[in-house]
């Protein structure tokens, strides 16, 4: 697996394991949400300093982003998308 794919895999794996949305991680790491998505989709090439900030935000060592996934491992399941709409209030009679 190439380095960019490895970083993308592990950032997403750790983020999903912790139940953190891309938006929340990007906000806490002080980067744009679309850039965070680009990192996970392998379309962005983050600097070491940025990866260090993301690792610190996730509470892991930078080296965690370079661990090889086990053979046959499946990609992390995505968190539910967006916010759930608030159901209308029922009227009391």
Q: Tell me the per-residue pLDDT of 25-43, one tens digit each, with 9 for 90 and over.
A: 999 999 999 999 999 999 9
CATH number at residue 10: 1.10.260.40
- The whole-number pLDDT of residue 69 equals 83
In a domain, 49, yes or no: yes
In a domain, 39, yes or no: yes
What is the pLDDT of the chain when averaged over all its residues? 85
Overall domain count for the chain: 1
Q: Which domain holds residue 36?
A: 3-64
- The whole-number pLDDT of residue 71 equals 83
Other CB atoms within 10 A of residue 8 CB: 22
- Per-residue pLDDT averaged across 43-56, rounded? 95
Residue 84 has pLDDT above 80, yes or no: no
- The whole-model pTM stands at 0.77
CB 18 within 8 A of CB 58: yes
Angstrom distance (rounded) from CA 21 to CA 15: 7
């Amino acid at each position: 697996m190439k380095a960019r794919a490895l970083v993308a895999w592990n950032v997403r794996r750790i983020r999903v394991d912790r139940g953190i949305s891309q938006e929340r991680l990007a906000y806490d790491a002080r980067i744009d949400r679309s850039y965070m998505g680009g990192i996970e989709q392998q379309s962005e090439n983050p600097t070491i300093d940025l990866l260090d900030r993301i690792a610190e935000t996730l509470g892991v060592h930078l080296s965690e982003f370079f661990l090889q996934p086990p053979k046959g491992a499946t990609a992390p399941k995505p968190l539910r998308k967006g916010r759930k709409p608030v159901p209308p209030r029922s009227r009391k009679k």
